[in-house]
Structure 1
Amino acid sequence: MYQVGLTGGIAAGKSTVVQRLHRVHGLRVVDADHLARQVVAPGTDGLAQVVQAFGPEVVAADGTMNRQVVGEKIFNNPEARSMLEGIIHPRIQAARDRIIASASERVLIHDIPLLIETQMQDQFDEIVVVHCPAVIRVQRLINDRGMRAQEAWQRINAQISDDERLQAADTVIDNTKGIAELNAQTDALAKRLLQY
C-alpha cells in the first residue's frame, strides 16, 4: 500500500485538493480531523480524559467536546497543548492504524493538518504539501471566514512556517493561480497515484 501524507497551512486549499482526490478520482482519504472528533465523541474515554485534564466546562450542552473552550485553554499555553496532544494523538494514531490494517486500497491519502508539526513524515511514502503564501491565506481567512486580520495572522503564526512545511514536501501543489490550475495539479497527482 502506498501511503500519502497530505498537509498545508490554514486556508492554503488543502480541503479543496482532498475533496477532488476523493470525489473526482475515487481515492480513499483518511481525515485526521474527523478521527480527532471521533476519539473525543460523547461517551469515549478520550473525552473523559480531556474532562479530567481541563474540567467539566470543556463539555458543550449537547455532550460533545467544546472545541472553542478547549482551544482557548491551550492557545497560548504550550504545557496545556502538550497535555491535550498526549490524550488525543495516540488515540488518533490507533484509529489510523485500524483503518490501514483493514484497507484494501492500493493508495491511501492521509489528510493531516499538523503532519509536519507532529513529526509524522516518516510514516508516509510521500508528503504532499498544498502551498499558498501567508499573505494570500490571511486575505482568504478575512474574506471567507470573517476573521479580523490580527486573528488571521495569529492562526497562521501558530503553525510552522511555510519554509519548514515546504522542506518536508516530496510534492508541492501550488495554490496561487486559481481553481482551474489547482484542479489541474490535483488531477496530475491523482493520475500518478492511481498507477500504483
Structure 2
Amino acid sequence: MSMIIGLTGGIGSGKSAAANHFATEHGIHVVDADLKSRVVVEPGKPALAHIVDRFGDDILLPDGNLDRAALRQRIFSDADERIWLESLLHPLIREETLRDLNSATSPYVLLVSPLLIESGQHHLTSRVIVVDVPEALQLARTATRDQVSEDQVKAIMQAQSQREARLSQAHDIITNDRDLAHLHEQVNTLHQQYLAMLQEKNP
C-alpha cells in the first residue's frame, strides 16, 4: 500500500480544492470519505433501509435517494440521532475507504475526510494535513456555497473538531485565507516534501 496522507479541515475550509490540486496537478490518488458516505447509503444498500426505519419515508427524495439535506437537519438538531447515524455508517465507510486505499498506485495516497480526527481515520495515516481557515470566513463561505443559514453551518461546525483540536493533530497546515493560487503553492510544496520523504525511506 502507498503511504497514506490524511487531509482534513472544517466545513468550507477548502479541503476539496486542495485535494483536487494534488490529484490533477500531481497525479495523486484521492480517497474521499464524504463520497464513500454517499456510496454506502445508495438505494438498495442495507444502511439506507436502516435510516428509513429510523426516520421514516420522508427522509427520501421522490427518486428513492436519501434526502441528505433533510437528514442533516435532523441529526444536527439532535446529538443522539447523530451518534446513532455515525455508529451505523462509520464502519461501512471505513470498509469502502480501505478497499480504495489498497487500490492506489500513486507514490502516496490522500485520504480526505471532514471527520478524519473524530472518526479515528487518522490512525490509518502517516501524516495529517489540516486545511485551516478563520472561523468567520469558514461560516461566510459555507452559508453562501450551500445556500443555508449561518445557524445550520454553526451546528455542523459544532459537530466537527474545534479548530484548535484539529490543528493540534496536524503535521502539516495549509492556510486557506487568500486566493486559490496561494492554496496551490502550498500544495505544490507539500507534494515535493512527501516525495523527498519517500525517497529517504526507499532510496
TM-score, normalised with respect to structure 1: 0.91
Distance change in 2, residues 1:154/1:168 (3 Å): same
Matched, 1:126 2:127: yes
Larger CA deviation: 26-35 vs 116-125: 116-125
State the Cα deviation string for residues 34-64 of structure 1 (Å, max 9, x = none).
1111111011112112222222222211111
Partner of 2:36: 35
Q: Distance in 2 between matches of 1:152 and 1:72?
A: 11
Partner of 2:21: 20
Distance change in 2, residues 1:90/1:156 (3 Å): same
Shift of 1:147: 3.8
Q: Distance in 2 between matches of 1:93 and 1:185?
A: 28
SS in 1 for 2:26: coil
Distance change in 2, residues 1:143/1:170 (3 Å): same
Give the aligned residue type for 1:72.
Answer: Q
Partner of 1:110: 111
RMSD: 1.7
TM-score, normalised with respect to structure 2: 0.88
SS in 2 for 1:115: coil
* 5+ residue gaps, structure 1: none
Distance change in 2, residues 1:73/1:149 (3 Å): closer
Partner of 1:188: 189
State the Cα deviation string for residues 99-140 of structure 1 (Å, max 9, x = none).
233333331101101111213222110000000110121222
SS in 2 for 1:173: strand
Shift of 1:153: 3.1
* 5+ residue gaps, structure 2: 199-203
Partner of 1:81: 82
Partner of 2:101: 100
Q: Is the CA contact (8 Å cut-off) linking 1:134 and 1:156 kept in structure 2?
A: no
Q: Distance in 1 between matches of 2:194 and 2:37?
A: 26
Q: Is the CA contact (8 Å cut-off) linking 1:28 and 1:109 kept in structure 2?
A: yes
Distance change in 2, residues 1:154/1:78 (3 Å): closer
Partner of 1:68: 69
Give the aligned residue type for 1:122.
Answer: H
Among all aligned residue pairs of Structure 1 and Structure 2, give the percentage whose two residues are the same amino acid. 31
Distance change in 2, residues 1:142/1:38 (3 Å): closer
State the Cα deviation string for residues 153-180 of structure 1 (Å, max 9, x = none).
3333332211000001010001123222
Give the aligned residue type for 2:91.
Answer: P
Partner of 2:167: 166
Q: Distance in 2 between matches of 1:142 and 1:54?
A: 26
Distance change in 2, residues 1:68/1:4 (3 Å): same
